[in-house]
A and B are shown apart, each in its own frame.
Chain A
Amino acid sequence: MLERLAAFAEKFTGPAELRWHANHSVAAAIRKGALVENSQSRASGISARVFENGVFGFAAFAEEDDAALTKAMETARSDAGFMKGRSATPRELARPQAIGEGRFDYRSPRPAATPKERVEILKVLDEAARAKYPELVNVDLSLSAHTSEKALATFEGARAYSYVPRAVLSVRMSLEANDGLVELYDARGGFGEIQDQDFSLAALSSWLDGLHEELRRKAEGGQCEAGEHDVVLDSDLAGILAHEAIGHTCEGDLVLAGSIAGDNLGARVASEKITLGDYAGRGPDGKSTFAIHVDDEGAVCRDVTIIENGVLRGFLHSRRTAAELGAEVTGNARAFSFLDEPLVRMRNTAILPGKDRLEDMIAAVDHGYYFKRATNGQADLTSEFMFGVSLGYEIRKGKLARGVRDTTISGTAFDMLKTVTHVGDSFKWSGAGNWCGKKQPIAVGTGGPAIKCRIRVGGRA
């Protein structure tokens, strides 16, 4: 396919891309012993995007033959011309420093997991969990895999192919507490295909035991006190903090839309202990849950240091936002499916580790919380952020105390990060990988060490 795209890309006369993109996925789920999902999906097609008169035209079709490619190119050009003269930015696009070429194929060398093996994984874990923890109101188990496979050819000469898989096993347990239902969710897996992961009962038994115990403590626990508190955020939350609180605020399109980050480049926005970036490949340690080498505009992805020792240093760019803000293209333009145009998106966003120990952070809190696991999150142009917390504990006089129920934490990132007093020495990528929603869903990696800071906590107490 890449050769065909390349031949057609030669016909362009200005900035343009041709992309073939296939999303492969499997999904299986057991709910209270019943198999409620058991499917396999493939969605593929071709797209063309051209930039003319300061406007992008984009067209996509499910067919993949030469006629469809020709139609996509013609439709994209026609669309770009339809609102000629009403461009938001009548400027040239920035040219990538390096044009992407190569194959980045993370296909598993092992035989693909069969449908029977997929269902068996869930069945074994479900039976074990329900037998071992009979007091649970419910156990939900799901197994999902998603692979993004694409070929890209651009007017500027990019020629790239990639195959990037991720597989996730998740579990949700529900328990009846004295005052209503309490539940807890967690996931395992990450980069690679199902056959690359060990989802056996032997491998996951202690994880399920730990989850059950934490659910029990959560059910016995209470509500958080609403207000601002000293907290220790475990690495799972630090990764989401990097993504929601800082990453979104520093996306080039949001900077153009008025993000407060645009006024703070070069300014101190965080404690000196904070260095945070958005990383290409599989991140600084090569172990993230997601991989990217060439973006969907054909730019070689490069690491972006967003905050360096507390100072705001850079933003994430597509060719368009780089041109408008006079910056270099960073390789952050990504599309979810063949139907979607590239947008400025994060890749592997993380806070780099420091030198502090988790025990010391907890010991340094007199009255606060230790939050371990996040749910959803949102960002804002003001750098105000929030994310849900599904697992945490009170800290009283430097020691962990009772569990707490679901809550939400929030703050203004450029204020809150200045309150960071400790940055942990142990780095982890969050869970089995995350998804980000911004017009389109997209797979991202988030990671970090534990940090101690002061943050606003929601609660009914």
Chain B
Amino acid sequence: MNTNRPRYCLAILIVLMAAVAFLMESQVNDYLLAIVCFAGINIILAVSLNLTNGFTGLFSLGHPAFMAIGGYTTALLTFSIEKKPLFLPDLPQWMVSLHLPFLPALLVGGCFAALVALIIGVSVLRLKGHYLAVATMGFLIIIQVLLNNADSITRGPLGLNGLENFTNLYWVAAWVIVTIYTCWKIKFSSLGRSLLAIREDEMAASSLGINPFYVRSFALIVGAFFAGIAGGLWAHLITAVTPSSFSLIMSFGIVVMVVVGGTGSITGSILAAVFFTLIIECFKPLEESFGIYGIGEIVTSLVLISILIFKPSGIFGTNEPDFVLGKHKP
């Protein structure tokens, strides 16, 4: 980077988030805290999906599947040993004795999701465009059916409940910072430029010596890791996970955030994630006073349609806004 502006922005962001987290945790009621936590989780999801969809052009609809893997893994690992026989009587013995605190459990969840992404990637990443989208959607459905039927490990359709409410604003803020920093560093490195090159013209990129398969796998794996982390945070915020929590609808929700924010712009995804989380909540008082439910979702759709008509590349396109980059663009 030529300027120090992005570093200052990050520092300001960290300080701001720490202050907000401290104030909110001590003052504000649970409801507002939950909203802000969900906004944070959506930021992690949007930024990580941006890495896969936006930078590299892999239209992946499988993000919720990685969330599900991360969420269930984290949940199973943080489940206390006394509770396990009560909820999951048929669990294999080696799993019953596994118990980790929150952070290691999150990391294991994320790594497991990344591992599955690596395995899936070998077959799925040969496809391009719409075929890749459908294949990842198929993967999502496979994961849902698997979770639904592996009764002994996941308790089937009823899912796991009674999870500890570990997720608080500090955890979410910390992971948001980590995700933004990692994705920023990737974007403005030679690896990031390879990702963008693959997106623009794969033939030209491979003729310059970039191995498309390795690069695309990398994008999928890192995206899956953060999705797994987000899934673990999500599970411990709601304290319950079921196979249907991570659905195709959620997948489209995240894609909408990436598209509206700008495919390839980290700032764009952050703003879009916050915007879409808040807009649903802001319209709730309106819905309740008049009894017309569903207004928030309609507004979301209208925003998406207007963006697609007037600015198809998203609010910020592939670039970061000038004030974050500093006056001199590289």
A binds B: no
Q: Give B residues with C-beta under 8 Å from A.
A: none
